[in-house]
Amino acid sequence: MSEKIGIMGGTFDPIHYGHLLAAEECRRRLALDWVVFVPTGTPPHKKNRLVTPPEDRYAMTLLATAGVREFSVSRAEIDRNRPSHTVDTLREFLGEGQLFFITGLDALLGIDAWKDYLLLPNLCTLVTATRPGYSLAGLDAIPSAIRGSLEVVEIPQFAISSTEIRARAREGRGIRFLVPHLVENYIEYHGLYKNLEVPRT
Ligand code: ATP
Ligand code: MG
């Protein structure tokens, strides 16, 4: 029987316990064999701020998942020298097993902005983890083709975001216990998030 592979895309700037918890809860609930974290290369939806270089985000994702047998990290989007789109990534994984694309509810509610999003249910089962601040009622507004293929996984609500972690790091407010210890050390050692987020014009 083919393996069930979860794919968790994200900017992971930086990866935090909300990501790890969402991935693990979805893995357990749907009996996935693996979850592959796929950090974005050039994020198409985040052009309004400077994103940390892909190699730093990749390194932090590796540090956060090292030692978790069922988790791995893919360079698929980082090594693609074009904007990353979920549909292209899923096509790269076709043939590896039965695919489950995992998002948080906030990301899923914006799915109609993604390239070729109506093709996604043909490529994978869409899985969405609940996220504080986003109501399941919002799902009524998404296209029925998407809703029909969707698995909703309710997870313990962890009200943390990378945006909040960057702000805390910048202001010296501490990020311990919000990100894995090795990620905290990496951010400190490399002086990440020290500067203001300068919007791109
Ligand atoms: P940012 O604040 O920069 O947008 P983020 O915390 O939302 O960062 P992303 O890299 O944008 O992190 O998210 C990657 C995926 O993880 C998305 O599908 C997002 O919905 C999901 N996710 C992030 N944080 C949580 C959380 N606390 N609970 C559930 N899902 C989450
Ligand atoms: Mg986000």
Q: List pLDDT tens digits, range 1-60.
A: 699 999 999 999 999 999 999 999 999 999 999 999 999 997 556 556 789 999 999 999
Query: Is the Cβ atom of 11 under 6 angstroms away from ligand 1?
Result: yes
Counting other chains too, the contacts that 16-20 makes at CB distance below 8 Å and 24 or more residues apart are: 16/160, 16/161, 16/162, 16/165, 16/178, 16/179, 16/183, 17/158, 17/160, 17/177, 17/178, 17/179, 17/180, 18/104, 18/131, 18/158, 18/160, 18/161, 19/64, 20/64, 20/65, 20/180
* pTM, full prediction: 0.95
Nearest bound ligand to the CA of residue 18: 1
Arithmetic mean of pLDDT, 58-78: 97
Question: What pLDDT, on the 0 to 100 scale, is given for residue 200?
Answer: 47
Closest ligand 1 atom number to CA of residue 17: 27
pLDDT at position 47 is 59
Q: Ligand 1 in contact with 165 (CB < 6 A)?
A: no
Out of 3.40.50.880, 3.40.50.300, 3.40.50.620, 3.20.20.120, which CATH number does the structure's domain 4-159 have? 3.40.50.620
pLDDT in tens, 110-169: 999 999 999 999 999 999 999 999 999 999 999 999 998 899 999 999 999 999 999 999
Has residue 201 got a pLDDT over 50?
no
Residue 80 scores a pLDDT above 60: yes
Q: Give the pLDDT confidence score for residue 43 in this predicted structure.
A: 58
Please identify, by atom number, the ligand 1 atom nearest to the C-alpha of residue 8: 15
Ligand 1 atom at shortest distance from the alpha carbon of 40: 10
Residue nearest to atom 23 of ligand 1 (CA): 19
59 CB less than 6 Å from ligand 1? no
pLDDT of 84: 82
Which of these, 184, 142, 180, lies nearest to 18 by C-alpha position? 180
Report yes or no: 32 and 6 within 8 Å, Cβ to Cβ. yes
- Asked if pLDDT for residue 105 goes beyond 60, the answer is yes
pLDDT at 44: 59
Phi, psi of 14 (to 5 degrees): -100, 170
Report the separation in Å between the CA atom of 18 and the middle of ligand 1, taken as the mean of its atom positions: 7
Q: Which of 11-25, 76-90, 105-119, 179-193 has the lowest mean pLDDT?
A: 76-90
Give me the residue spans of the domains in the chain: 4-159
Contact 89, 79 (CB under 8 A): no
